Structure 1
Amino acid sequence: MTTLLPALADLGDEAATLPGLTRIESHPRPVATPIILDMLRSVYPHDKVFGDFCPVQGYVDAPPRELYEWLADTRSLEEWTYSLRGFTETDEPGLWEAQDRLGDNTMIYTRTIANPDAMTVDYHCAWDQGRHLWMIYLMRVVDAQAVLDKPGSVVLWTNCRHPFYDANPYPETAPPERPVWVGDFWDMFSAGHQLELDNLKAIAEYRHHNDLPLTPDWMRS
């Protein structure tokens, strides 16, 4: 099995102060929760807008092919997600395990299915067990020149509300006395995913603007 080097090592000391970056190391959940709640607005019916689907999207000033190649590596999740840390490849090729620090003693399993022609990156995930990866995060990188008439990338990200978000289908695999289930956070997914998309943007633009490869050396080795 392969163990990763520390994420964001190529950013050096600037990683802790990079504008727009919100990660669990600098913003523990009690600190991040008010930020996310402030992103929610009472002027729209949140449950109707985000009841069954959670779409977020944004512009990233970085080359689309390079951005796709970074995201297509499962280990990129260590960098731009809020709480997934310590990715290690399992004995099953292509299946990775990591900690999801949203939950106490919670492991998350991920398999990435990427299509270089369409520049789609789908993360198939699940808490606690890797047999049934029912949490599927659908992402696509689009050449911004085609849709916005300017260089860069547009990232489209959609999540679907699988019925298992309402109740853990594999309670026997959960750590004892864990107080939360991933579905407990569904109402915050739209804001939480936007926060993570902002992380993605901050890292990719920093590297691009400083002539660094979007995919760091420790992923290439």
Structure 2
Amino acid sequence: MTIDSNPLSDLISAGMPDGVIRVETHPRTANTALVVDKVRSVYPHQQIYGEFCPVQGYVDAPPDELYEWLADSRSLEEWTYSTRGLVATEEPGLWVGYDRLNTDTEIYVRTVANPAAMTVDYHCAWDQGRHLWMIYLMRVVDAQLVLNKPGSVVLWNNCRHPFYDENPYPEAAPPERAEWVGDLWDMFWAGHQIELENLTAIAEHRHGHGLPLTPEWMRA
């Protein structure tokens, strides 16, 4: 079957800048060659995790309950490796605790959640709470929609903000601390993978034992 040229498609193609690859400009054979050229058996760490740090996984627990648990900032004390001691500040919605990766390092957290989209974004920063530039972007997806089985899919991404390369607020840092959070960027994926496995283990344990995902002390 021959498909006649579509005038609208021709018009769209005519307005495209150089370098845009569409079926109108690159037949499948040409595009396949480009795709194969991009596939590697081994990828440099910097190429994969240089600007963004994605982790994702399946959780055998209901998505609505998982979202409600994660949407509470205090859940970070349960599933993260080192965020502890969160207490509410005088500013509504802003919490402060300690990142125990380092001695005396305060971490500030504000959780921005959207129940309709089940997105949970943790806006964080070391040392000060005026500018929460470390953004942990999370989304809970109903696994029935994407994997055709009950449960949840968690998508988590971080963007490499320029402040990871240099502390913008050195005056707020504890004087004895030599390490900056950006020094750890190359280990973010591995560290976040461990934390996602923590999240999964806790949620699946509670769901498997008929317990609410959000513990009583957080619901009180």
Shorter chain as denominator, the TM-score bin is 0.7 to 0.9
Q: Distance in 1 between matches of 2:153 and 2:195?
A: 15
Runs of 4+ in 1 over 4 A off after TM superposition: none
Q: Distance in 2 between matches of 1:137 and 1:117?
A: 19
CA RMSD of aligned residues (A): 1.0
Q: CA deviation at 1:203?
A: 0.1
Whether 1:102 aligns to 2:111 is no
Whether 1:45 aligns to 2:51 is no
User: Which structure 2 residue ranges, 5 or more long, are not aligned?
Assistant: 1-41
Q: CA deviation at 1:104?
A: 1.8
Q: CA deviation at 1:89?
A: 0.4
1:167 matched residue in structure 2: 166
Structure with larger RCO (C-alpha < 8 A, sep 6+): 1
Whether 1:137 aligns to 2:147 is no
Scaled by the length of structure 1, the TM-score of the pair is: 0.80
AA at the equivalent of 2:199: L
User: Which structure 1 residue ranges, 5 or more long, are not aligned?
Assistant: 1-42
2:54 matched residue in structure 1: 55
2:149 matched residue in structure 1: 150
Q: Secondary structure at the match of 1:117?
A: coil
Q: Distance in 1 between matches of 2:131 and 2:102?
A: 19
1:176 matched residue in structure 2: 175
AA at the equivalent of 1:99: Y
Q: Secondary structure at the match of 1:172?
A: helix
Identity %: 78
Q: Secondary structure at the match of 1:59?
A: strand
Q: CA deviation at 1:115?
A: 0.1
AA at the equivalent of 2:124: C
Q: Distance in 2 between matches of 1:104 and 1:67?
A: 31
Q: Distance in 1 between matches of 2:46 and 2:101?
A: 22
Q: CA deviation at 1:103?
A: 1.6
Q: CA deviation at 1:44?
A: 2.7
- Give CA-to-partner distance per residue, 1:142-176, whole Å, 9 cap, x none: 00000000000000000000000001000000001
- Give CA-to-partner distance per residue, 1:158-205, whole Å, 9 cap, x none: 000000000100000000120210001000000100000000000000
Q: Distance in 1 between matches of 2:44 and 2:101?
A: 26
Q: Secondary structure at the match of 2:136?
A: strand
Whether contact under 8 Å (1:95, 1:111) holds in the other structure is yes
1:23 matched residue in structure 2: none
Q: Distance in 1 between matches of 2:60 and 2:96?
A: 30
